[in-house]
Amino acid sequence: MTHTVKAMLETHPIGSGSVDQEKLAACIAVCFECAQVCTACADACLSEEMVADLTACIRKNLDCADICAATGNVLSRQTGSNTEVLRAQLQSCMVACRACGDECAQHADMHEHCKVCAEACHRCEQGQVPGSGVAILR
Amino acid sequence: MTHTVKAMLETHPIGSGSVDQEKLAACIAVCFECAQVCTACADACLSEEMVADLTACIRKNLDCADICAATGNVLSRQTGSNTEVLRAQLQSCMVACRACGDECAQHADMHEHCKVCAEACHRCEQGQVPGSGVAILR
Amino acid sequence: MTHTVKAMLETHPIGSGSVDQEKLAACIAVCFECAQVCTACADACLSEEMVADLTACIRKNLDCADICAATGNVLSRQTGSNTEVLRAQLQSCMVACRACGDECAQHADMHEHCKVCAEACHRCEQGQVPGSGVAILR
Amino acid sequence: MTHTVKAMLETHPIGSGSVDQEKLAACIAVCFECAQVCTACADACLSEEMVADLTACIRKNLDCADICAATGNVLSRQTGSNTEVLRAQLQSCMVACRACGDECAQHADMHEHCKVCAEACHRCEQGQVPGSGVAILR
């Protein structure tokens, strides 16, 4: 996905302004990755026999999915300037990824999908790929 | 819409916790209203002859629509607790509504749809209906 | 919400073409109503003690919420023409509302939120308010 | 992204049923890729000097983005069974990708972002990577 994200930034008539294009592309890609993983993790938790013990996790998954998807969309736009909004939404995305990642990390030993999800949330928040996470762009 | 939002809060096995149910229902309803209005305003601007002068407005409309929709979804969930995330997303929603509302207010004399949109953004941010806006819940 | 939806249609530079504006406004409003109710019903089911018996219901709720939100957005746009897409998405929305409504109706005696949700899905599909449902516009 | 999508399918307690996991993962990934590219293409068109000639394209971009995102979410869920809904939404996604891809292809010579977008829409509809497009899963 990062490949097409980068291609779209490179072909934009305005470009990404003062923001590093590599970092921005990586950041957009991890937002969409995290949105998908959180949606899938909510669903995987739902199919666990012990679903009753995972409802707080599912809730955080669903919130994080919605917030990451919105953040990915806002980041994908370069027209005009909406810096204050971008900053506030990146802040919310960081908080959501931390809350969901921390929750999933608690079930990571028992549920492999929570482990994958905790890692995706952490990547989206902090950026395991250097410069990819929303923490860096905020 | 407020009617069904309230019905869903009243029939929730947990309820809305310490949050006033009337205020929460009004807040959820204005988020979805604002999301729809911003989507429609972006499209109306797009159909104006002078669209080239409205591109910054369209961008803010689209960002605000995405953020309000995500906020409305997060607010609609009562399972577990995700307070810090809720607060950060409400903050982002306030900022997005202010940015979009201020932009639309500048075109309100010329474009009636921008006037309706500025009002919806203002309602979502501050709450013209007492206690309806995201500023109150944050 | 129908009030502002209608206001946005009336102030659109193009308008709603050959489509009846009252019907279109009602249809858009029920799509967003249904999206919110399905999101809330998924969350209410998640908070039930017997959540393990409601997982198929939650899944249908979440699918229906996503599809109704996308449909509400597509319906809110009048620029250009995208009739074939609109028709296919309305078809999918009908199918999703029927599937979710039928599922929720089975739990309506036991869970009041499923009853409210079944009604919202039915309104969105068929239109209890004459001319409001996606079945009529398709 | 395909890597994490696949990891989530592999760690799901139910799995992807009778559907080929490779194909499903590829299909989910192209849906999210196409959603992002369409959002970015709408924004790039908005920043073109000749934006007034691109409004029909922007509208199709925005519709396609909403529909692909919803489709990617529905495809990401394996709990219960919602086959009829999945099929109808895949059908709508095919139609939206074709409409947007055809429109973008007309501007591909002039606008590189439309070329990238036309390719992403085509991949999502038909699958350039064998077995990746929604046409195959429907």
Task: Please answer whether residues D90 and D23 qualify as being in contact, where contact means their C-beta atoms are separated by less than 8 angstroms.
Answer: no
Chains that touch B (3 or more CB pairs under 8 A): A, C, D
Question: Which pLDDT belongs to residue B131?
Answer: 65
What are the angstrom distances between the C-alpha of C51 and each of A49, A112, C54, C55, C85?
10, 22, 5, 7, 36
**Cβ pairs A/C, distance under 8 A:** 23
Question: Which pLDDT belongs to residue B127?
Answer: 64
Domain ranges of chain B: 2-11+20-137
Q: Rounded to a whole number, what is the distance in Å from the CA of B22 to chain D's nearest CA?
A: 30
- CA end-to-end span of chain A: 22
Q: Please state the rounded mean pLDDT for residues C90-100.
A: 97
Spell out which residues of chain C touch residue A46, defining contact as CB-CB under 8 Å: 55, 58-59
Taking the C-alpha atoms of residue A10 and residue D116, their distance in angstroms, rounded to an integer, is: 11
Spell out which residues of chain A touch residue D41, defining contact as CB-CB under 8 Å: 8
Taking the C-alpha atoms of residue C100 and residue C85, their distance in angstroms, rounded to an integer, is: 22
Nearest-CB residue to C63 (from D57, D82, D95): D82
Residues B79, C47: C-beta atoms closer than 8 Å: yes
The 10s digit of each residue's pLDDT in D65-81 is 999 999 999 999 999 99
Please give the CATH number for the structural domain made up of B2-11+20-137: 1.20.1270.360
Q: Rounded to a whole number, what is the distance in Å from the CA of C117 to chain A's nearest CA?
A: 19
A61 alpha carbon, distance to own chain's centre: 11
Q: What is the dihedral of CA C117, C122, C127, C128, to 10 degrees?
A: -70
Taking the C-alpha atoms of residue C98 and residue D85, their distance in angstroms, rounded to an integer, is: 9
**Residue matched to tokens 């209005």:** B37
Q: What does the DSSP assignment read for A43-59?
A: HHHHTSTTGGGSHHHHH
Percentages (nearest 5) of helix, strand, coil residues in chain B: 75, 0, 25
**Is residue D45 helix, strand or coil?**
helix
Confidence check: pLDDT of A128 > 70: no
Confidence check: pLDDT of D60 > 70: yes
Tell me the one-letter amino acid at B80. Answer: G
Question: Which pLDDT belongs to residue D131?
Answer: 65
Task: Please answer whether residues A61 and A41 qualify as being in contact, where contact means their C-beta atoms are separated by less than 8 angstroms.
Answer: yes
Of D119, D34, D109, the closest CA to residue D75 belongs to D34
Q: What does the DSSP assignment read for B6-52?
A: HHHHHT-SS--TTS-HHHHHHHHHHHHHHHHHHHHHHHHHHTSTTGG
> In terms of residues, how long is chain A?
138
Task: Please answer whether residues A1 and D36 qualify as being in contact, where contact means their C-beta atoms are separated by less than 8 angstroms.
Answer: yes
**Cβ pairs B/C, distance under 8 A:** 117
Residues C43, B4: C-beta atoms closer than 8 Å: no
Question: Which pLDDT belongs to residue C94?
Answer: 96
Task: Please answer whether residues D77 and D66 qualify as being in contact, where contact means their C-beta atoms are separated by less than 8 angstroms.
Answer: no
Token pair for B67: 């953020």
Taking the C-alpha atoms of residue B10 and residue A111, their distance in angstroms, rounded to an integer, is: 34
The 10s digit of each residue's pLDDT in D3-29 is 999 999 999 999 777 788 999 999 999
**Helix residue ranges, H only, D79-133:** 83-106, 112-126
Confidence check: pLDDT of A58 > 70: yes
Return the residue of A nearest to C58 by Cα.
Answer: A46
Lowest mean pLDDT: which of C2-6, C59-63, C104-108, D69-73? C2-6
Residues B39, C77: C-beta atoms closer than 8 Å: yes
pTM beyond 0.90, yes or no: yes
The ipTM value here is 0.95
Token pair for D51: 């934006």
What are the angstrom distances between the C-alpha of A82 and each of A30, A89, C1, D115?
21, 11, 27, 27
Residue D131, classified by CB atoms within 10 Å of its CB into exposed (0-12), middle (13-18) or buried (19+), is middle
C contact set with D (CB within 8 A): 55-60, 62-64, 66-67, 69-70, 73-74, 77, 79-82, 84-86, 88-89, 91-92, 94-96, 99
Return the residue of C nearest to A58 by Cα.
Answer: C46
Spell out which residues of chain C touch residue A43, defining contact as CB-CB under 8 Å: 59, 62
**Residue matched to tokens 């998954």:** A61
Task: Please answer whether residues C132 and B24 qualify as being in contact, where contact means their C-beta atoms are separated by less than 8 angstroms.
Answer: no
Lowest mean pLDDT: which of A9-13, A110-114, B91-95, D131-135? D131-135
D contact set with A (CB within 8 A): 1, 4-5, 7-9, 11-14, 28-29, 32-33, 35-37, 39-41, 43-44, 46-49, 65, 69, 72-73, 76-79, 111-113, 115-117, 120
Q: What is the dihedral of CA C118, C119, C122, C127, to 10 degrees?
A: -170
The 10s digit of each residue's pLDDT in B92-137 is 999 999 999 999 999 999 999 999 999 999 999 986 556 667 887 7
Tell me the one-letter amino acid at D57. Answer: C
Confidence check: pLDDT of C128 > 70: no
The 10s digit of each residue's pLDDT in B58-88 is 999 999 999 999 999 999 999 999 999 999 9
